[in-house]
C-alpha cells in the first residue's frame, strides 16, 4: 500500500472497455510525509479530489479493489487519509 497526494485529473476520451466509467487521477507518491518525485496514474474508487492525501493499492490488489479481475489496472485509490 502506498500513500500519495492527488495533484490532477487525467482525461481520457478513448479507453479499454473495462475502464469505461472509471475516473483517473494523477497522484504524487509520498514517503514519511514528503513527496518522492514519483507520480502515478490511479483509478479512483472512493471519490477523492485534488489536494487530498490518499491510500493506493497496486498489482493484483488493484484489480480486486476495482471490482473486476478483468480490469486492466495497476493502481487504485482505496482510501482518503483524514489525519
Beta bridge partners of 6: 27
pLDDT in tens, 60-74: 777 667 676 777 888
Contact 76, 25 (CB under 8 A): no
- Whole-angstrom distance, CA of residue 15 vs CA of residue 36: 29
Q: Which domain holds residue 57?
A: 2-80
pLDDT in tens, 20-29: 888 999 999 9
CA angle, corner 62, sides to 59 and 67, nearest 5?
A: 145
| CATH number of domain containing 32 | 2.40.50.220
pLDDT the model gives residue 65: 74
Q: Model-level pTM?
A: 0.88
Q: How many helices (H) and strands (E) does the chain have?
A: 1, 5
pLDDT the model gives residue 83: 81
Instruction: Count structural domains, the chain.
Output: 1
Amino acid at each position: 500500500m502506498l500513500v500519495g497526494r492527488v495533484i490532477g485529473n487525467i482525461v481520457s476520451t478513448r479507453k479499454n472497455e473495462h475502464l469505461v466509467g472509471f475516473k483517473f487521477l494523477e497522484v504524487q507518491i509520498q514517503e514519511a510525509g514528503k513527496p518522492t518525485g514519483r507520480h502515478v496514474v490511479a483509478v479512483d474508487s472512493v471519490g477523492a479530489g485534488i489536494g487530498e492525501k490518499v491510500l493506493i493499492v497496486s498489482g493484483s490488489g488493484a484489480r480486486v479493489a476495482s471490482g473486476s479481475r478483468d480490469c486492466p489496472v495497476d493502481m487504485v485509490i482505496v482510501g482518503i487519509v483524514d489525519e
